[in-house]
Amino acid sequence: MLKTILIVFFAVFLTLGSAYYQRLTGPTYPVRGHAEIAGQQIKFKLIRSYDLSDDAKVTVLVADTSVKGEIMLRRFKSFDNWQVNPMVRHGDTLVGALPHQPPAGKIMYEVTLIKGDQRVLLNDHPAVLRYTGYVPRYILFPHIFFMFMAMLFSALTGLMVIFRGKNTYLYAWITVISVGIGGLILGPIVQKFAFDAYWTGWPFGHDLTDNKSLVGFIFWAIALFVMKKNRENKLWPIIASVVLFVVFMIPHSMLGSEIDFTKDQKTETTK
């Protein structure tokens, strides 16, 4: 009984840890940090994803009304010139707008705070924001739930096999079903809402989110087939568990959908 509890604990720990790492290192996770201007500590969060139909708003909380701000921006993968727009103050907050783009369009930007002759650049490297279409929560939440279940039962199956636990064949089935529903059914539906394309992974593209779902499903389908023939097989469920863990460690949205604006621009233009 104690062994089973410990296995479940470590499976949950691995799942939560990989999910947190994936979110923290992903290209859509906000850029967070601190800056100092005129002796004042400023905490900021620069967004890198936006799913509404208006301009994305970049906000920085600065109580000192003598501090101004500006945003330097251009479309990502374009020949656009950089343009600099002032931020507008609303009470304690400086607000800047990033012009709306079609789904998968990206804007790269830098934020500078200004007080007198002092200028402080918040981000050393331009932040890149990607616009997406709105994904209904009744689609998004089940997608996230089944992918979480896939990782959890994949880890649980692998650990149970290693430490001679029970119900490994059942857990393998739950893993395959979860990956299938979350990654290969709901995943493409999410992709369609967000980027107007059901599948941008292999062989049509290089989207790692799509590809890693496919790879994880293939390895677990093979493992399940082998376990059906031989319930005592340990090699394939362990391989499948390791593969799914590795692909889940790949940051979400890496090499995801994006518009290459340079294909529509023959010469340098100003947006």
Domains and CATH numbers, the chain: 2-26+136-248 (no CATH), 31-131 (2.60.40.10)
Per-residue pLDDT of the chain (271 residues; tens, 9 = 90+): 778 888 889 999 989 988 888 777 777 889 999 999 988 899 999 999 999 889 999 999 999 999 999 999 999 999 999 999 999 999 999 999 999 999 989 999 999 999 999 999 998 889 999 999 999 999 999 999 999 999 999 999 999 999 888 889 999 999 999 999 999 999 999 989 988 888 776 666 666 677 788 899 999 999 999 999 998 889 999 999 999 998 888 776 555 677 888 887 554 433 3
- Cβ contact 44:33 at 8 Å: yes
For residue 50 the two structure tokens come to 């936006």
CA distance 256 to 271: 24
**CA triplet 13, 220, 177: central angle to 5 degrees?**
80
- Cβ contact 259:102 at 8 Å: yes
Tell me the residue type at 109: Y
Provide the strand spans (E) within the chain.
31-37, 40-46, 49-50, 56-61, 68-75, 83-86, 88-90, 93-98, 106-115, 118-121, 127-131
- How do strand 83-86 and strand 56-61 relate by DSSP bridges? unpaired
Residue 177 neighbours by CB under 8 Å, 6+ apart = none
Interhelix angle 2-25/137-162, nearest 10 degrees:
130
What is the model's pLDDT at position 211?
A: 79
For residue 182 the two structure tokens come to 């979350």
The total number of residues shown for the chain amounts to 271
Q: What's the pTM? A: 0.82
Nearest alpha-carbon partner for 155 in 133, 139, 185, 178? 178
What is the model's pLDDT at position 107?
A: 96
